[in-house]
Structure 1
Amino acid sequence: MEQTRMISPIFKQIDPPQRFLMGPGPINAHPRVLRAMSADMLGQFDPEMTEYMNETMALYRQVFMTQNQWTFLVDGTARAGIEAALVSLVEPGAKILIVRAGRFGLLLSEIAERIGAEICTLDLPWGEVASLGQIEAALQEHKPQVLACIHGDTSTTMAQPLDSVGALCKKYNVLSYADVTATLGGVPVCTDRWGIDVISGGLQKCMGGPPGSAPITISDRAAEHIMARRHVEAGIRSASLTDGQRSRISSNYFDLAMVMDYWSEKRLNHHTEATTMLYGAREAACIVLEEGLENRFVRHKMASTALIAGLRAMGLTIFGDDAHRMANVTGVWIPASVDGDKVRMRMRDDFGIEIGTAFGPLTGKIWRIGTMGYNAVKHKVLLTLGALEAALAAEGFKPPRGAAVDAAMASWP
């Protein structure tokens, strides 16, 4: 008797729908990045692999606009970079001052709380940024060990000015950290000019890659602090730390001292490098630098300016202050007469275009539209505006037909 074959249910080959990801991120990855990520594996200590690591460090020094020796990748999404920075900088019980003006400032608090830090905050209404005077006053009041902030908070679409913040922190002997996930590769991240000690980012926004790798750069001053904590763990006392500050880093995976040893010429094993993500991160940086940083910054600004011109031509109101708006994510007030989620659904289902909703006090009040990386181009901005116009009209809001695309085209040089 013929044996009956048991056929297990199988899933189809992955074939996601093609969409323009015009929200606050992730965005569509550049095809070159995806092709690079399909290359074959290498052993983590093969000389070809370690050379790729060295090349990646050199490339990201240029992207971060820095001379920092310690510029490399943390394996994991952008949040991995944030957590590695805070876990390695902040001892349990030490004071950290966090600038909070959006969802991702709150994230810094969530991570610092798990570390056991004493959290001090400079809280601002969502959509505002901190002035240098406010930051200095908070430093004087709280006397923290570390200041942490978000450069571009996509939850509010505002960019926190960072000029002179590093110098201010040095004046008060405070280490400084900034997350630039939303701005790296599309907006100037002037690491050396700002004097920020540790800056981390991600690939999935202006860099035009997928989530999964977190570029980071660390000043010599911060590296000394991080390595001193590692020496404490090994039983070596550092004169620069008081007894109350001496503590081992609570994470193994996110211990930057150990990761730095891995990326150094020592090549001390810490983890198996995410080879495919390294290929993608390296290619993303190559694309950015081939275009040229200044050219790239201009392109992002042009795309954002055109989008805003189109939105205003539709009779929509832009969220926030023009002076501090990110050049790659725009917030727009949802008209009171329409259901914002239904408009987004129409754009996705009818046009294959995704825009973002909002968090916290802005939930249901604004849409967030990204013009980043591979998507910060004229035709994608025009298609997004045309789709939004049609979706609004279908939901009862009657914008002047064609005005948005015309205004955007007129604003594009």
Structure 2
Amino acid sequence: MRGNQPLHIPVRTIMTPGPVEVDPRVRQAMSHSILGQFDPAFTSIMNETMQLLREVLQTKNEWAFPIDGTSRAGIEAMLCSVIEEGDKVLIPCFGRFGYLLKEITERCGAEVTIIEKEWGQVFEPEEIIRALKKEQPKILAMVHGDTSTGRMQPLQEIGKACRELDILFIVDAVATVGGTDVKTDEWFIDGLITGTQKCLSVPSGMAPLTYNERVENILKERKSIEQGLITERSEVNVKRRIKSNYFDLSQLQDYWSPARLNHHTEATAMLYGLNEGLKLILEEGLEQRFERHRVNEQALVAGIKAMGLTLFGDEASKMPTVTCISIPAGVNGEQVRRMLLDEFGIEIASSFGPLAGKIWRIGTMGYSCQKRNVLLTLGALEAVLIASGVSVHRGEAVQAALSYYSEALKEERAVL
């Protein structure tokens, strides 16, 4: 029995596709005193966080704020606030999280059409554009980077087509914002959702999102219907109500507006953490941050290949924040993961659905995306595979990564 012993948390090096290690400055920020949610000092932090989000999400949208809850909370808030019963929604699926969008949109009462790609591949933009013209949906909802397969879908041409066809474009960018380029306005994204626990390097618990006036117009219309229900409860109007209270963006928008209409008690310490995490991103610089993620990913890939392991999926569409490795034949992937955790304190991930037991997934995200972590992970993985009887090219993985870092540094100095 533990009795009254203090909580003990083991030290870990987290190299999963989320959650990731939290920047020490974020942890320090979250330890500050709690303020009341209407204290001017706190509402000032709210306003500042909205501006920081606009910069990180590369948007001029008026509305950019976090939902209290995990990334899925933000996805549900966006979808349930925009989708009315009977709306046609098209969802391209190339991994687990496209099917999550399908489940949520169906729960909203949408008429959902999905198009599918084999896991490990992504769509050519023209494939999706053809489906848009054929189905003529109200909304295209899709994932930017699906961590279950480690693939990233190009969006710019798709967003442009959506705008030309007057289709709302809703994007799950949970695993990409802060780790690779995501241009909300330039890619014609109407509503975008991300999460704190991945490339933002903040604990799980908030889902920042942004939306433009095209989405806001829908919120205004549905809100007016909601208010009109007091005197006019027609069947059509009842169906058009936003079903959720907590995830109603029109009410949340009122809370984040200067009116500060009470909706819920804000997650004070989480907002401190998000505020600091966004400042860290902007201090580093977006381009510099994306380059850091790219360099560490490429060093990891060089080491994996030098070890004699095989990457999973089409490399042309690989996410720069997630590396998927095919588990060698005859190897128990879970035993390898457990030994990495028990002996080295390093956590990597397995996968889901058709890829369960077939691949490992290594994340290089946010604060976890460090040269030290990459080298430690490569050395530890090699050691565990050798102990498990797997034939690998001994001693080559870390050397290949070091060689890549050396060449990258030379290129950086040449540019400077």
| TM-score, length-scaled by structure 1 | 0.95
Over residues 224-282 of structure 1, what are the superposed CA-to-partner deviations in whole Å (9 max), with x where a residue is unaligned? 1122111111118xxxxxx6897110000000010001001111111111111101111
Deviations along 1:73-111, one digit per CA (max 9) or x if unpaired, are 111011100000100111111111111111100100111
For 1:161 and 1:55, the matched residues in 2 are separated by 31
Name the SS of the counterpart of 2:310 in structure 1. Answer: coil
Task: Give yes or no for the alignment of 1:143 onto 2:123.
Answer: no
Letter in 2 for 1:123: E
Residue by residue over 1:193-247, the C-alpha shift from the partner in whole angstroms, topping out at 9 and shown as x without a partner, is 10110000001111111100011010111111122111111118xxxxxx68971
| Contact 2:85 2:239 survives alignment (8 Å) | no
CA–CA separation in structure 2 for the residues paired with 1:328 and 1:288? 15
- Taking only the aligned residue pairs, the percentage that are identical comes to 51
User: Any residues of structure 2 matched to 1:215-254 within 5 Å, and which?
Assistant: 215-235=208-228, 247-254=240-247
Counterpart contact for 1:91–1:245, Cα < 8 Å: no
- What 5-or-longer segments of structure 1 have no aligned partner? 1-7, 237-242
Q: Does 1:213 align with 2:206?
A: yes
Alignment of 1:38-53 (within 5 A): 38-53=31-46
Residues 327-376 of structure 1, C-alpha deviation per residue, up to 9 Å, x if partnerless? 01000000003111111111100000000001011111100001111111
* Conservation of the 8 A alpha-carbon contact between 2:17 and 2:363: yes
Answer yes or no: is the 8 Å Cα contact 1:165–1:196 preserved in 2. Answer: no
Q: In structure 1, which of residues 369, 373, 393 is the aligned counterpart of residue 366 of structure 2?
A: 373
Q: Which amino acid aligns with 2:350?
A: T
The residue that corresponds to 1:132 in the other structure is 125
Contact 1:177 1:199 (8 Å CA) reproduced: yes
In 2, distance between residues paired with 1:9 and 1:320? 46
Equivalent in the alignment of 1:62: 55
For the pair 1:321 / 2:314, whether they are aligned, the reply is yes
| 1:161 pairs with 2:182 | no
Query: What's the Cα RMSD here?
Result: 1.5
Q: Displacement of 1:9 after TM fit? A: 6.9
Conservation of the 8 A alpha-carbon contact between 2:322 and 2:363: yes
Aligned partner letter, 2:355: L
Matches within 5 A, 1:10-409: 10-235=3-228, 247-409=240-402
Q: Is this contact kept in 1: 2:152–2:318, CA < 8 A?
A: yes
- Partner Cα separation in structure 2 for residue 64 and residue 253 of structure 1: 24
Separation in 2, partners of 1:245, 1:95: 19
Between the aligned partners of 1:201 and 1:15, the Cα distance in structure 2 is 31
Inter-partner Cα distance in structure 1 for 2:391 and 2:251: 58
Contact 1:94 / 1:245 at 8 angstroms: preserved in 2?
A: no
Deviates further, 184-193 or 10-19: 10-19
Instruction: Check whether the contact 2:225–2:237 (CA below 8 A) recurs between aligned residues.
Output: no
Structure 2: runs of 5+ lacking an equivalent = 230-235, 409-416
Letter aligned with residue 359 of structure 1: F
Distance 1:12 1:386 in 2: 35
Partner secondary structure for residue 379 of structure 2: helix
- Secondary structure in structure 2 of the residue aligned to 1:331: strand
After TM superposition, give the deviation of residue 10 of structure 1 in Å: 3.4
For residues 380 and 112 of structure 2, the distance between their equivalents in structure 1, rounded to whole angstroms, comes to: 44
Secondary structure of 1:122's match? strand
* Aligned partner of residue 167 in structure 1, secondary structure: helix
- Render the CA deviation track for 1:102-150: whole Å, top value 9, x for unaligned: 1100100111121111111111111111222111111112111111000
- Name the count of aligned residue pairs: 401
1:164 match: secondary structure: helix
Q: d(CA) in 2 for partners of 1:75 and 1:411?
A: 40
Contact map agreement 2:340 2:347 (CA 8 A) in 1 = yes
Distance (Å, rounded) in 1 between the aligned partners of 2:207 and 2:156: 23
Q: Following the alignment from structure 2 to structure 1, what is the Cα–Cα distance between the partners of residues 249 and 377?
A: 41
Deviations 1:156-190 (A, max 9, x none): 00001111222211222211100111111011110
Q: Which moved more, 1:72-81 or 1:129-138?
A: 129-138
* Distance across 1 between alignment mates of 2:370 and 2:180: 15
Change (3 A) 1:358 1:367: same
